[in-house]
Amino acid sequence: MAKLLMINAIIQANRGSDMGDKIKDWDKAYGNAASISDAQSYIDKWPEEARAFRDKIDCQLYISYGDAERQKLDLFHPDTPSKGLFVFVHGGYWYRFDKSYWSQLAAGPLALGWHVAMPSYTLTPEARVSEITVEIGMAISKAAEHIEGPIVLAGHSAGGHLVTRQVCSDTSLSPDRLERIVRIVSISGVHDLRPITRLEINQTIGIDHDEALRESPALQEPVADGVQVDCVVGGAELPEFRRQNALLANVWKGLGAATSCHEIEGTHHFNVIEDMQNPNGLICGLLKAAT
């Protein structure tokens, strides 16, 4: 079943999507909250779940990785021997949320022995998307100072974009940091930013055409040898997110990268990330394969 879903996703990427050039309402095509009947209930519960999780876990909070107000990360520690560093970058279309919403997602990687870093970053419009990309590189480098061993990067939605950008040919990461990265897991990632320029929310995000070209991982080349790139999306997500998911796996495979493409059946954009909390889930299964 999973193999059939992967093949179908790649076919959709090749032909554009089921919607293709028939898309008339781009805001609807990328409007995740509007497509989920109980979307607000997820947004409401995330901070409390994260707070409760932090209260019971060994963690270091508000580690500075730069001088700006939001350039802080939280670092969670497993109670078993270390497997390495897992970095999770949150989404929110580059203009919403911070690290305090997502702490509970560390449960799965922690159970497998990974230290988990979760950074906040400067949001648009205060920062451009290209500047946020550099900030995430700074956060990874700071977390890597604290934890030895292999590094796995994961991100959701805009976070999926930000982690895949770290292994593009123009990466800001130093060679010694880059060589430690063994796996990228992009969850519901936005890999081609050109459609975002059509959205009403781009009045806040502020991506222009040139930046969309430069900042789209699907339009760049992967630089790191030996890095596995896994693209994961909810099977009930909007067609454009399923297309974006398959797109990167398809394009980068054609450029020689090791990629995989997965759909988690029955999940949408807001609950697909809950799979991270399950040590026996798909995402932790990919993490197990990293070692």
Higher pLDDT pick, 287 / 7: 287
Sketch the domain layout of the chain as residue ranges: 2-17+24-289
Q: Which amino acid is at 229?
A: V
Residues 160, 87, 61, 129, Cα dihedral to 10°: -30
Report H helices in 56-128.
Answer: 107-111
Q: How confident is the model at residue 1 (pLDDT cuts 50, 70, 90)?
A: very low
Q: How confident is the model at residue 15 (pLDDT cuts 50, 70, 90)?
A: very low
The per-residue pLDDT for range 154-210, each reduced to its tens digit, is 999 999 999 999 999 999 999 999 999 999 999 999 999 999 999 999 999 999 999
Q: Give the pLDDT confidence score for residue 82 in this predicted structure.
A: 97
2-17+24-289 folds as Rossmann fold (3.40.50)
Report H helices in 71-148.
Answer: 107-111, 129-146
Characterize 103-119 residue by residue with b for buried, 16 or more Cβ atoms within 10 angstroms of its Cβ, and e for exposed: bbbbbbbbbbbbbbbbb
Cα maximum dimension of the chain: 52
